[in-house]
Homo-oligomer: A and B are copies of this chain.
Amino acid sequence: MSSLRIEANQQAFRRLTEADPVLVDVQRAGDVLPGMTASTVLTAGAPLPWDRYIAAQRKAILFGAIHEGLAATVEEADDKIRAGEIRIGSTHDHGCVGPHTGIYTASMPVFVVEDRKTGARGHCNLFEGDGSPRRLSLGFYDEQIAAQLRFMENVVAPILGEAVRRRGGLALTPIIREALLCGDDGHVRTTAGTMLFTRALLSALLDLDRRADVRRTLDFLEKATYTFLRPWLAADKALIEGLSGLERSSLVTVMSLNCRELAIQVSGLGHEWFRGPHPRFQGTIEGTWFDGSGRTPVPEGWGWFGADSLLAECLGFGGFAGAAAFALQSYYLPGSTQDIVARNLAMYDITVGEHPVYRIPFFDHRGLPTGIDLFRVLETGTMPAINGSIAKMDGTGFTGGVVWPPIECFEAAAAAYRARYGE
């Protein structure tokens, strides 16, 4: 019955909005991710057979194996994957969120966020440093990239982890709330959040003995303005973990890209993936990349490389908070400010509630539109507006824009929902 669905969605909404996500640690992926092993490489998006991974995402997986010391060359890594000696896994199946290609190997550090209300945990790796597209997460690897990853593993992560533990954890809700007042959307802009995060940890950082490493960590945080996206996404994951398998709830709990498709999960349908083709894309630099069919004719040389970060939109951030982040107009998001406003306002039509703590100043402090209802998407025809990006495969370009997921995912999920619950 529809009233049972509404009730389930309201329950889901309450769980989301009453959560208390706390950053509790920074640890090695191999030590904290459920089901992670020394020979596993995780990557973003719904899982694919190995042969279907292409381009940047395939390269990133192979380079990840090399970085972890599981293989010496891409050929060897490829052989070992085929032989089952190296296992490829999907981030979302291992309690974590992988922005871009979303590579995790055992020794890579992750932010650990716990929802103090439920005990559920979410994890996310660290942003690689600066705005350069030459990063492992975009399918590149060389000595400089390797050195930066080692620096993060050996300096940044241990320092941040110790500061967080000394502080007894860092409550994220006040930082997220304030970041939204300072122009962050929680997906493609976290400039303010990273400053607030640094400020909150500063006192603990200055208590540490390794002064030179503290300095290098603070220098890293100054440049890596996307750093706070990662605990933010880990919080999103911790919250959404508490919603999976909530009987009859039609909330969209996950949206994610791999190099082939966009796929979603729905609360009442557990961890089943509902897959569709690539999203449509409206970019700032290259214009609008889609045709009437919903397919994206990506221009030559550009490609989709994955992205678990679309999870942000399931929690009311990103395109659902675009009007909190007008600074993104023109340099990241297409169209005028009024277009950003219109896209954001439309999200109230497909969500189950307005967040009581996270607010959009421009909407007279109205709460974020939170909790995408699968059926409202289909009834209204309004698709979630995702603040995202697409990259040039040769590493020379990267452009921001709006990602519109394909309706096929939602149709497939609705069919499964009806089959299960008889609505």
Contact = CB atoms under 8 A, between A and B. Distances in A.
A82 interface: no
A314 B32 CA distance: 56
A364 interface: yes
Given A337-B364, A365-B330, A202 B218 contact: yes
Nearest to A330: B365
Nearest to A195: B195
Q: Is the interface of A mostly helix, strand, loop or mixed?
A: helix
Contacts of A23: none
Interface string A325-365: 01111100000110000000000000000000000011111
A329 B364 contact: yes
Contact of A337 (B182, B196, B328, B361): B361
Given A182-B183, A182-B327, A362-B362, 20 more contacts: A181-B183, A181-B191, A181-B327, A182-B182, A182-B191, A183-B361, A192-B192, A195-B196, A202-B218, A202-B222, A203-B215, A206-B211, A206-B214, A206-B218, A326-B361, A328-B361, A329-B361, A330-B365, A336-B364, A337-B361
A340 to B, nearest CB: 9
A357 to B, nearest CB: 14
A167 interface: no
A219 interface: yes
27 contacts: A178-B191, A181-B191, A182-B182, A182-B327, A183-B183, A183-B192, A183-B361, A192-B192, A195-B195, A195-B196, A195-B199, A198-B199, A203-B215, A203-B219, A206-B206, A206-B211, A206-B214, A206-B218, A326-B361, A328-B361, A329-B361, A329-B365, A330-B365, A336-B364, A337-B361, A337-B362, A337-B363
A223 B348 CA distance: 35
Q: Specify how many copies of this chain sit in the oligomer.
A: 2
Q: Closest 7 A-B residue pairs measured CB to CB?
A: A326-B361, A181-B327, A195-B195, A327-B361, A182-B182, A326-B362, A182-B183
Contacts of A214: 206
A227 to B, nearest CB: 12
Interface string A359-377: 0011111000000000000
A198 B203 CA distance: 13
A195 B330 CA distance: 25
Interface of A: 178, 181-183, 191-192, 195-196, 198-199, 202-203, 206, 211, 214-215, 218-219, 222, 326-330, 336-337, 361-365
A211 B211 CA distance: 11
Contact of A203 (B218, B362, B364, B365): B218
Contacts of A222: 199, 202
A89 to B, nearest CB: 37
A337 B366 CA distance: 11
Nearest to A362: B326
A196 B195 CA distance: 8
A267 B403 CA distance: 51
Nearest to A335: B364
A29 to B, nearest CB: 29
Contacts of A203: 215, 218-219
A162 to B, nearest CB: 17
A109 B214 CA distance: 30
